[in-house]
Chain A
Amino acid sequence: MTKVMILGLDCAEPSLVLERWRHELPVLSGLMDKGAHGRLTSVIPPITVPAWSCMMSSRTPGDLGVYGFRNRSDHSYDGLFIANSTAIREPRLWDLATRAGKPSIVLGVPGTYPPRPLNGVMVSCFLTPSTESQFTFPPILKREVEEVVGEYLFDVRDFRTDDKDYLLRQVYEMTDRRFRLAEHLLETKPWELFAMVEMGPDRMYHGFWKLMDPEHRKHEPDNPFQSAILDYHKHLDRLMGRLLAHADEKTAVLVVSDHGGKRMDGGIRVNEWLRREGLLATLRDPEEAVPLREAGIDWSRTVAWGEGGYYSRIFLNVAGREPEGIVSPEDYERVRGGLAERLAAIPDENGDPLDTRVYLPEQVYEQANGVPPDLIVHFGDLYWRSVGTVGGREGVHTFENDTGPDDANHAQEGLFVLVAPGVHPGPREGARLLDVAPTVLELMGLDVPASMRGTSLLSAGVA
């Protein structure tokens, strides 16, 4: 029966944090000296939503029926929903702690807006619309949050800015306020489970990676931000050290990330590629690149379309399933298999192979609830993103991205460091994001539901 403190660092990359910078991060390094640590294989896709909810429930995106931030609600062409806490139907760690009468503090864990009742306190995540929203449970906690930190910052206010100094100030301010609130909650609320997620590392990687990494296509030598990501991690390390003052020797400490980060080499314009392959027909041929829907889709001549983002989801236009589907159900597997092969074969801009991974949902999920994509594509092993626009002068490859920052993408492996009574220190292999919840439950002396997909790292002998 152990208290558990989970310190979640969105996107924290193991090759940087656990390896290259280990000795510049004394707090984390101290935890590594005392605990088990290593890479933590994320889910497919390795994206904040649904990954944190998968971690906290030990259920796959297929189980949750949540395949990304935005999901199809049915097989219509425009039935889409943005996944929030109400979409997560499986119990997460604090729900299970509540059932056992154990109090939790939950702070900023993605997938928690709107906040749901629990035994304990909750401050919702970065997808909270604003501080005008009811972002705490119990509701009265909101006033206390404002008394402690003033305006609480769910995320950076203006991520698209080219003013890197301004972006940096925003990230630090967000992180400082969250940690100040975390300290306050640890000091004033009872807890046996503390779960907190800091979004800062993700925002730093997406905004500053090219300035750090000489291998990045857009690296600028001698820029003033070369050490910005490392400096931020050092700052985070100091803040984590203050929280650890609230963890006694009997408290288990688990530092985790939902996925890693890596440089981004470019974007594959997946819908433009489908158009050029004759698999997607638009009503207009725009002179400038525009989102697919703006160009209009001629569904009667469209076999498939895709979603842009850090990875791609491909949907087939199936007769009897989609309103104007043209792929016959008998042809579905043949068409999908052929498309998967062709997507995997898209080369880079020089004609060299990209290490693209194409996944079939039924191969990566034991069950696929809701409306899963027909194909999930990680272009160039996630060194490339997916871009959904069509038209314009650019071809299939793009190196300009006016829809968002393009410095970094997500990597399949995040990290974990686990310090707990009975856990021997040292590096470990084979840990999965889905193993986190069963591990925490075992540490807390709670039963692990049979429906959980992962295995406790303690029972499995990994930790």
Chain B
Amino acid sequence: MARRRAERIDDVTLKIPRPLYERLRQVIEGTGFHSVTEFCVYVLRDLAASQTPTPDHDRLTTEEVAAIRGRLRALGYLED
């Protein structure tokens, strides 16, 4: 088996649950991030700076859909 690229001496390994890893893989799909690791480093740096947890929002609730439909109706794009 080919030896993996040596890790930089200042890097450490973080372990995260596999379901979370899979979720993050989906989150970055189609974006410019090459890997979950790259994305995690970016997000964690930001969080560390702000000390605020990141809420998970990806799906629209019924209320959100209703709000958007209402706006599109008012703008004349939807009629029902």
A138 touching B46 by the CB < 8 A rule? yes
Would you give the shortest CB distance from A145 to chain B, in whole angstroms?
Answer: 13
Kindly supply a per-residue 1/0 record for chain A positions 218-256, scoring 1 wherever the CB is within 8 Å of any chain B CB and 0 otherwise: 000000000000000000000000000000000000000
CA distance A130 to B60 in the complex (A): 12
CB distance from A61 to the nearest CB of B (A): 15
Residue of A nearest to B63 (CB): A129
Instruction: Given A99-B32, A140-B52, answer yes or no on A404-B46 (Cβ-Cβ < 8 Å).
Output: no
Tally of chain A residues near chain B (CB < 8 A): 53
Q: Which of B6-64 contact A (CB under 8 A)?
A: 27-28, 30-34, 39, 42-43, 46-47, 50, 52, 54-55, 57-58, 60, 63-64
Q: Mark B59-76, 1 if CB is under 8 A from A, else 0.
A: 010011101110111111
Once the chains bind, are B63 and A403 in contact (CB under 8 Å)?
Answer: no
The answer, yes or no, to whether A91 is at the interface (CB within 8 Å) is: yes
User: Are A309 and B79 interface neighbours, CB within 8 A?
Assistant: yes
Q: Contact between A129 and B67 (Cβ–Cβ < 8 Å)? A: yes
Indicate if the CB atoms of B54 and A138 lie closer than 8 Å. yes
A134 engages B64 (CB within 8 Å): no
Q: A159-B75, A310-B76, A388-B80 are in contact. Are A82 and B65 (CB under 8 A)?
A: yes
Query: In the complex, are the beta carbons of B32 and A82 less than 8 A apart?
Result: no
| Minimal Cβ-Cβ distance residue in B for A48 | B77
A89 touches B (CB below 8 Å)? yes
Is A294 within 8 A of B80, CB to CB? yes
The interface residues of chain A lying within 8 Å CB-to-CB of B42 are 117, 119
What chain B residues lie within 8 Å of A116 (beta carbons)? 27, 30-31
Instruction: Check if A133 is an interface residue, CB within 8 A of chain B.
Output: yes
Which one of A99, A293, A387, A403 lies within 8 Å of B73 (CB-CB)?
Answer: A403
Contacting B at CB under 8 A, from A31-85, are 47, 68-70, 82, 84
A161 to chain B, nearest CB (A): 10
With A95-B32, A117-B39, A119-B42 already in contact, the answer to whether A133 and B64 are too (CB < 8 A) is: yes
Expressed in whole angstroms, the Cα–Cα distance for A407 and B31 within the complex equals 39
Is the CB–CB distance between A91 and B30 below 8 Å? yes
Given contacts A99-B32, A129-B63, contact A160 B52 (CB under 8 A): no
